[in-house]
Amino acid sequence: MNRINFLSFSVLGLFFISCQNQPQKEEVVDRPNILFAIMDDVTYLHMGAYGCDWVNTPNFDRIAKEGILFMNAYTPNAKCAPSRANILTGRNSWQLEEAANHWPQFPVKFKSFAESLDENGYHVGYTGKGWAPGKAANEDGSPRDLLVNKYGEFTLDPPTTGIANTDYAENFKAFLSDNSTDDPFFFWFGSWEPHRGYEYGSGIRVGEKSLEQIANDQVFEFWPKVDSVKTDLLDYAYEIEYFDLQLGKMLDHLDSIGELENTLIVVTADNGMPFPRVKGQEYEYSNHLPLAMRWPKGISGENRKVEDYVSFIDFAPTFLELAEVKEADSGMDSITGLSLTDILFSKNSGVINSSRDQVLIGKERHDVGRPNDQGYPIRGLVKNGMLYLYNFEPERWPAGNPETGYLNTDGGATKTVVLNSIYKPETFQFWEWSFGKRPQEELYNIAEDPNCLVNLAEDNSFEVLKNEMKTELLEKLKAQGDPRALGNGDIFDRYPYVDPKSVDFYNRYLKGEEVSFGWVNASDFQDLSKVPTYQQMLKEKRNQDIEKK
């Protein structure tokens, strides 16, 4: 062998050895199928994989054990329609015009990733709750489904009146049977559970649970630790378990047809649990959601726990990348989220990408019930275990007006207990935490205070950190074109609420019109002028403010 050939051979050999020593992404021959399973209203803590012992979720736990459990997954907006719009578009709420609100007219200009996948060789469909509630239409006014094809033909007799009669698993099978060309598929399993209302006591009666399963320290600090609250929690737990059971049926079917190994399974929820101070708000338990992913042919490693902060706007670019659809060819408006493939293809746990150290959150109008159908605008930054919130209109009621039933909190046993707390000074704080007015700025150490009860924004020793987070938040919002940060936030209140029975609810109700909703109880309506405890506590607070000045 001459010197030139020897050197060439040696270099080539070293190159192959070097390649073998480098971490390699497992080669995937086919574009993956995607099963996206989303619960309706679940806080991240209430899954077995996160350590909860009074909710049984073996199928979610399996996904986490055989793939990745995300420890810091957040929705940008803790309400159904805007959160789902974030998922489908890869954009934050304030970048979605009308779709920032609940019950909006979805703008024609924003294409969903599901519509794009459908145009790029994927078999696309869903069952149960898709993007909702709201209305979507094409430019010519014809009906539009952001998830393309609905499968709802198969129904069943549900175990309780609070559970939907949709047979999720059978509809999934029907969807797969329709895939005559054997294309890769995207399927959205939108469980209606555990959205309210619940059949009170069903967790004990049907789910065979007991009050002793929930210790007092497992009841969030901002609720009274009473049996009716625990019963409400067990009803919520039973509906989560019902979702998990349907998920298990889908996994079994995928396994039986040989599609389980090349299916990316994503399991999450749209926003936090439908209880006071959680759903519809922007605290830790409102936005921090469960997330697990499994995909043996693509995800590197098993039983990984990832600490990176990820946002729901990261789903769309991830799915497009895995489907080999370039953003420029997707037909979608520019995507703000970042693909999660850096995490999927790593073999590590902990922090994978140190730049993923924060998420932005916020909200505009959710449910109505304020004068002129106004919302309660908030923007927030979650970063390195801290949560900063800026309330743009602190004079408004954050959960909706008392006289119209606090409509941004679903009616139920826990809401009733908390509302009744207003009548005694010793329990008044429970009412105030969930329904009272708030200061303009809030800052919480969510690592030490996940209940978000100690507002550090009022502590001078945190003044520098508070101002740093506020500055960073507003700079990012302005860069993303947020009308609220740019001084034109009133536009969100002017977008119409498309549910006709809800429009101008406040004035119609005060004029004596009979208006009602399924998610509010008659006892939820309060006239605070007739509540002596509230008047007394309000007076004391005003005196304290005067003394501070």
- Please identify which residue in the block is written with the tokens 């929705």: 75
Query: Residue 5: pLDDT above 70?
Result: no
How far apart CA 185 and CA 264 sit, in angstroms, is 10
Contact 170, 193 (CB under 8 A): no
Per-residue pLDDT band for 2 (boundaries 50, 70, 90) equals very low
Per-residue pLDDT band for 441 (boundaries 50, 70, 90) equals very high
pLDDT, tens digit, 9 for 90 and up, residues 326-347: 999 999 999 999 999 999 999 9
pLDDT, tens digit, 9 for 90 and up, residues 194-242: 999 999 999 999 999 999 999 999 999 999 999 999 999 999 999 999 9
- Predicted local confidence at residue 262, as pLDDT: 96
Interval 59-85 mean pLDDT? 98
| Mean pLDDT rounded to a whole number for the chain | 93
Query: Residue 8: pLDDT above 80?
Result: no
- Predicted local confidence at residue 4, as pLDDT: 39
- Predicted local confidence at residue 501, as pLDDT: 83
The pairing of strands 441-445 and 386-391 is antiparallel
Query: Residue 189: pLDDT above 60?
Result: yes
Per-residue pLDDT band for 541 (boundaries 50, 70, 90) equals confident
Contact 106, 135 (CB under 8 A): yes
pLDDT, tens digit, 9 for 90 and up, residues 126-170: 999 999 999 999 999 999 999 999 999 999 999 999 999 999 999
Interval 526-536 mean pLDDT? 94
DSSP 3-state of 59? helix
DSSP 3-state of 269? strand
Residues in a beta bridge with 267: 37, 292
Per-residue pLDDT band for 549 (boundaries 50, 70, 90) equals low
How far apart CA 118 and CA 111 sit, in angstroms, is 11
Query: Residue 15: pLDDT above 60?
Result: no
C-alpha neighbours within 13 Å on the C-beta side of residue 280:
24
- Of 268-277, 373-382, 495-504, the one with minimum mean pLDDT is 495-504
Please tell me the pTM assigned to this model. 0.94
pLDDT, tens digit, 9 for 90 and up, residues 251-263: 999 999 999 999 9
- Predicted local confidence at residue 502, as pLDDT: 84
Q: What dihedral do alpha carbons 50, 51, 55, 60 form, nearest 10°?
A: 40
Per-residue pLDDT band for 548 (boundaries 50, 70, 90) equals low
